[in-house]
Amino acid sequence: MWAAAWKVLDDLPAQFQNFPSVLLKRIDVLTALQLSTKALQMAEEAVAAYPNRAEVWHRLARLQAQAGHLDAATVSATHCIELDESMWMEMAQDEGLKRIW
Print pLDDT tens along the chain (101 aa): 877 888 888 878 888 988 999 999 999 999 999 999 999 999 999 999 999 999 999 999 999 999 999 999 999 999 999 999 999 999 999 999 999 98
Quote the pLDDT of residue 43.
97
Quote the pLDDT of residue 93.
95
Q: What angle do CA 26, 29, 31 make, to 5 degrees?
A: 110
* Nearest C-alpha neighbor of 54 from the set 89, 26, 30, 29: 89
Quote the pLDDT of residue 9.
83
Quote the pLDDT of residue 72.
98
Characterise 69 by phi-psi region: left (phi > 0), alpha (psi -120 to 50), beta (else).
beta
pTM: 0.90
Quote the pLDDT of residue 41.
97
